[in-house]
Amino acid sequence: MAGIKILLVEDDWIIAKEITLSLQDMGFEPVGTIDSGEEAIRQMPVLQPDLVLLDIGLSGDLTGIDTARQLKQQFKVPYIFLTALADQSTLEQAKLTEPYAYLVKPVSPESLYSSIEITMHNASQRKVPDVLPAEPLVKPLQYEEGIFVKNKKRLEKVQLSDVLYIEAVDVYAMMFTVHGKFLLSNSLKSVEEKFPASHFMRVHRSFIVNTHKIEAIEENDLMLAGRAIPIGKTFREPVMSRLQVL
């Protein structure tokens, strides 16, 4: 995402490298990788990141939690904690600093992307309270219609006929289309209620598919654009009855 500068504070260089590559693949702008809280605080005025990915378990005089407190007090920059399996006491201390999100290592690209998108959206709302978020889906849609979804720093029109499938990501949903993927500020249930049932069908607790985009059925999977979408056990009968099989 051009223009969104992200500072990574992580003392495991292998994890740092993997996250940096993921950020670059997603179009974000990594401005640096730092392995200590002290150096991160010193570099903040120079790097001026929009977001900090911060390891809780930093070694050194400043732990990740200590660093978070200074980021919050001095720079008012949003941050997301990176954590391995931490003890309950550490997590309780981390919660008191009010991070925007937690990511458990190893971090999946999908969780990383959705957490950053949601954090930046929430941070913008806190800074500018008079700016209203994009309106959620409020009425049933027709297949021939298009919807506007957030993509980087603009709202982009997506035709429903170009949608392949929608996947649940935490409390939000990721919409995959023939042109790319978009994070929706709606739950999968909300999408199911608003998208036309004539073309879209829930096939798993985590997936809705465009039935017109199904290319093949392989045992317990539906194939769409080369990806296997699982058919949930409780959904298999209605799915198979919906599809025309000779």
Predicted pLDDT of residue 210: 95
Distance CA 41, CA 74 (A): 9
DSSP string, 38-69: HHHHHHHHHH--SEEEEETT--SSS-HHHHHH
Phi, psi of 73 (to 5 degrees): -75, -45
Residue-wise burial string across 232-241, b where 16 or more C-beta atoms lie within 10 A, e elsewhere: eeebeeebee
Pairing of strands 79-83, 163-169: unpaired
Distance CA 114, CA 71 (A): 22
Percentage of the chain beyond pLDDT 70 is 89
Type of residue numbered 125: Q
- The structure tokens listed for 40 are 């991160």
Task: Please report which confidence band the pLDDT of residue 141 belongs to, taking 50, 70 and 90 as the band edges.
Answer: confident
Higher pLDDT: 102 or 170? It is: 102
Q: pLDDT tens digits, residue range 119-130?
A: 888 887 665 433
Predicted pLDDT of residue 86: 61
Whether the pLDDT of residue 217 is over 60: the answer is yes
Pairing of strands 180-184, 51-55: unpaired
Distance CA 221, CA 229 (A): 5
Q: pLDDT tens digits, residue range 144-174?
A: 888 888 776 678 889 999 999 999 877 788 8
Mean pLDDT of 60-79: 88
Q: List, in sequence order, every residue forming a beta bridge with 41; answer none if it has no partner.
A: none
Whether the pLDDT of residue 236 is over 60: the answer is yes
3-state class of 213 per DSSP?
helix
DSSP string, 228-246: EEEPPGGGHHHHHHHS---
Predicted pLDDT of residue 131: 34
* H helix and E strand count, the chain: 7, 15
Predicted pLDDT of residue 134: 43
Higher pLDDT: 1 or 186? It is: 186
In the chain the domains, ranked by start, together with CATH numbers, are: 5-127 (3.40.50.2300), 146-242 (2.40.50.1020)
Least confident of 35-49, 98-112, 124-138: 124-138
Predicted pLDDT of residue 129: 38
